[in-house]
Amino acid sequence: LGELQLEEELFAQLIFLHRSPETLIRFTRPKSASRKQEHYQNQNQHLHQN
């Protein structure tokens, strides 16, 4: 990739993250916190299915 193409791709990703707060939170959250939240979400889904 040329530097300009790489810069355009990174800028597009930055704009996407800026426009999607949920995605921004998911990408910037520490991995351990993300795993804990996924675990709790999975538990809640199972509780609501029963």
Q: Please tell me the predicted confidence (pLDDT) of residue 28.
A: 83
Res 41 pLDDT > 80: no
Chain Cα centroid distance, residue 6: 21
Integer Cα distance of 33 and 39 in angstroms = 10
Q: What are the residues whose beta carbons fall under 8 Å from the beta carbon of 37, sequence distance 6 or more?
A: 29
pTM: 0.47
Q: Please tell me the predicted confidence (pLDDT) of residue 3.
A: 93
Q: What are the residues whose beta carbons fall under 8 Å from the beta carbon of 15, sequence distance 6 or more?
A: none
Is 44 or 28 the better-scoring residue by pLDDT?
A: 28
Segment 7-36 mean pLDDT: 85
Integer Cα distance of 49 and 22 in angstroms = 24
